Amino acid sequence: MTVLETRNLAKEFPGVRALSDFSFTLEKGEIHGLVGENGAGKSTLVKILAGVYQPTSGVFLIGGREMRFRSPRDAADKVGVVHQERELVPHFSGWENLFLGLEYSSLGFLRKRRMREEALRFVEKYSMDVDLDLPASELGSGRQEMLAILKVLFRNPQVVIFDEPTAPLSIKECESLFALIRDLREKGLPILYISHHLSEVLDLADRITVLRNGKKACTLDASEADEQKLIRSMIERDMESQYPKRNIAAGEKLFSMERCSSEKGKVHDISISIRRGEIVGFAGLVGAGRTELAKAVFCGSRFEEGKLSLAGRPFSSRSPGESIARGVVMIPENRREEGVVADMSVGENLVLPLLGTLTSLGFIRRQGAVRHAAGVVDRLSIKISGLSQETRTLSGGNQQKVSVGKWYGTSSDLWIFDEPTQGIDVDAKREVYTIMGDLAEAGAGIWFISSELRELLAIADRIYVMKDFRIAGEFHPPFDDEHILATMMGEERSDVA
């Protein structure tokens, strides 16, 4: 039975056709995967279905009736969306988040006891381990995700859309999420599942639709598809070219830490080195300390023991500004909050670190600033309508390029990339790998943190594994992926010395 059907949906913005002639169906009790590059039209489709955008042409039907939502509030009881950025009020309890906008009241007073009891009964249906009395901010990442899902389900929608739900989750939390999604399918709920992780889409979905340049490229039965077939449909490029690795001869030692420990940063007995022209990967499970170590170096945390050196000289820093001045830059994991200023234009973001060199008598030399920003846009192939476009309106991949590009023009030797490909499509990932290769070839050292072991194996020249805020192992090519994974998980390999 068809629950959701789109017929020739299209959405145009000034100068851009984001979605064109899109038709597909979603059946009762089906998980339908939706994949495509950033900018392929996935977000536009979701916003039309959720009432954020009105289609330029075409229609969509739910339960055989044509829908015309004027706002997300109109759509909430028909289409529920679990967004990558959780829509929770941090200081509200779990049950208060569930009832947000649906509160029971009597004589001007909230009926809190009734709401809490009803919320607890509702959660029992899904066997979720979420403490509804705790503020959302005190829940772990996985339980916050579960609460966000419960908030959507509480409105009893006819269709549920999951938009990149696993991005902030650990492996164990992902398994719990997948079990829940399969349970929802068994209950007959139709699910549209969007993810850049093709393996999880193939594992979960019954059918998969591929979007390319705003148009439907194909719809496949998951049993007949594989990653290579999906990638070809998405970008018409073979999987082998997704990891463009260059053979670059490593130069002199650029950065090193010798037996460094920090109680504040929690890291213990860290000894690492990075050479010029080298991409050094950092693997580990969530909570292993990889980001904390990188931030300790970049933000200038004090190490009580050990010594650091950069470019042959002792290195010490008291702040990110001092690290930048010394030639260390960082592309953070949370690009929307830490990597770019979302409300500023692309051009403004790209010149922020260079204002000191682009100003004269307190005024920005506009021509120089525009020339530099335009050069970075061209060099990194950032897809924008113009330098004045707000950064928040860019796709995830293009936001990531802005986060990287703002450091172009600085005299930076050590580039720290923290999960640079998280939440971006396969083509944007390839471009990020190319950027890292270009920087390494120019003599920089690359510190590359990733939770995706496959990309570390393909791109890194060496790999450090962290566990419990320590270095658990160092690996050289040819890499033994099983040994690396065992080290990440703290397991012993009897066949490896």
Read out DSSP for 211-250?
EETTEEEEEEEGGG--HHHHHHHHHS--GGGGS-------
Give the CATH number for residue 224: 3.40.50.300
Helix segments in 33-170, DSSP class H:
42-49, 72-75, 94-98, 112-124, 141-153
Q: What is the pLDDT of residues 33-50, one digit of tens each?
A: 999 876 688 989 999 999
124 domain residue, yes or no: yes
163 occurs within a structural domain:
yes
Backbone angles phi, psi at 404, to 5 degrees: -80, -45
Residues 263 and 364 placed together within one structural domain of the fold: no
Contact status, residue 378 vs residue 405, Cβ threshold 8 Å: no
- 148 and 255 within one domain: no
Task: Encode pLDDT of 150-202 as tens digits.
Answer: 888 888 899 999 988 887 677 777 888 898 899 899 999 999 999 878 889 99
Whose CA is closest to 358, among 372, 347, 344?
A: 372
Which tokens go with 423? 């939440």
Tell me, yes or no, whether 55 and 166 share the same domain.
Answer: yes
Query: Of 116-125, 143-152, 306-315, which one has max mean pLDDT?
Result: 306-315
Domain boundary among the residues 404, 428, 445 is at: 404
d(CA 489, CA 466): 10
Summarised one tens digit per residue, pLDDT across range 255-287 is 999 999 987 768 999 999 999 999 999 998 878
465 has a pLDDT exceeding 50: yes
Residue 424 lies in a domain: yes
Residue 333 lies in a domain: no
* Alpha carbon separation from 314 to 12, 222, 229, 303, 433 (Å, rounded): 55, 55, 50, 13, 30
The token duo for 470 is 């320590």
Give the pLDDT of residue 265.
66
Q: 152, 162 in Cβ contact below 8 A? A: no
User: What pLDDT is stored for residue 493 in this prediction?
Assistant: 46
Could you tell me if residue 315 is left (phi over 0), alpha (psi between -120 and 50 degrees) or otherwise beta? beta
Cβ 32 vs Cβ 4: under 8 Å: no
Partners of residue 160 on adjacent β-strands: 80, 191
Segment (H or E) for 362: none
Residue 492 reports pLDDT greater than 50: yes
Return the structure tokens found at 321.
Answer: 């500004």
Average pLDDT, integer, range 61-89? 87
- Domain carrying residue 444: 243-327+411-497
Residues 32/206, Cβ–Cβ less than 8 Å: yes
Cα dihedral 129→133→139→145 (10° resolution): 60
Q: Is residue 214 very low, low, confident or very high in pLDDT (cuts 50, 70, 90)? A: confident
Whether 269 and 235 share a structural domain: no
Contact 369, 351 (CB under 8 A): yes
307/433 same-domain check: yes
pLDDT of 76 > 70? The answer is: yes
Q: What integer pLDDT is reported at residue 460 of this predicted model?
A: 96
Asked whether residue 128 is assigned to any structural domain, the reply reads: yes
Q: Are 279 and 459 in contact (CB under 8 A)?
A: yes
Contacts of 486 by beta carbon, 8 Å cutoff, 6+ apart: 492, 493
E strand spans, 234-382: 253-262, 267-275, 279-283, 305-310, 313-314, 328-331, 359-360, 363-364
Task: Give the largest Cα separation in the chain, rounded.
Answer: 76
- State yes or no: pLDDT of 389 exceeds 50: yes
Residues linked to residue 328 through DSSP beta bridges, in sequence order:
414
Q: In the listed set 349, 370, 404, which residue is the last one of a domain according to the structure?
A: 404
**Spatial separation of the C-alpha atoms in residues 337 and 403, rounded to whole Å:** 11
Whether residues 400 and 420 share a domain: the answer is no
Say whether both 353 and 429 belong to one domain. Answer: no
pLDDT in tens, 295-340: 999 999 889 999 999 999 999 999 999 999 999 999 998 888 888 9
464 closest CA partner among 273, 195, 297: 273
CA 275 from chain centre, in angstroms, equals 28
pLDDT of residue 235: 66
d(CA 44, CA 60): 14
Average pLDDT over residues 102-117: 86
Q: Both 175 and 263 in a single domain?
A: no
CB atoms < 10 A from the CB of 58, how many?
17
332 part of a folded domain: no
| Residues 350 and 304 reside in one and the same domain | no
Hey, how many other C-beta atoms are within 10 angstroms of the C-beta on 74?
A: 14
Counts for the chain of helices (H) and strands (E), in that order: 16, 24
pLDDT bin (cut points 50, 70, 90) of residue 2 is very high
Same domain, 294 and 426: yes
Q: Give dist(CA 210, CA 476) in Å, integer.
A: 37
**Using alpha carbons only, what angle is made at residue 330 by residues 325 and 332, rounded to the nearest 5 degrees?**
145
Name the residue among 282, 286, 307, 321 with its Cα closest to residue 416: 282
* Mean pLDDT, residues 406-431 taken together: 87
| Pair (247, 383) in one structural domain | no
Alpha carbon of residue 383 to chain centroid: 18
The number of domains in the chain is 3
185 and 307 within one domain: no
Return the percentage of the chain with pLDDT > 70, whole number. Answer: 95
- Is residue 336 situated within a structural domain? no
pLDDT exceeds 60 at position 494: no
Q: What is the predicted pLDDT for the residue at 41?
A: 86
Among 181, 214, 242, the domain boundary falls at 242
**Token pair recorded at residue 452:** 């995706």
Rounded Cα gap, residues 251 and 268, in angstroms = 28
Write out the two tokens for 348.
């403004």
Q: How confident is the model at residue 236 (pLDDT cuts 50, 70, 90)?
A: low
150-183 b/e with 16+ CB inside 10 Å = b? bbbbbeebebbbbbbbbbbbbeebbebbbebbee
pLDDT digits (tens, 9 = 90+) for 16-29: 688 999 999 999 99
- Residue 11 in any domain: the answer is yes
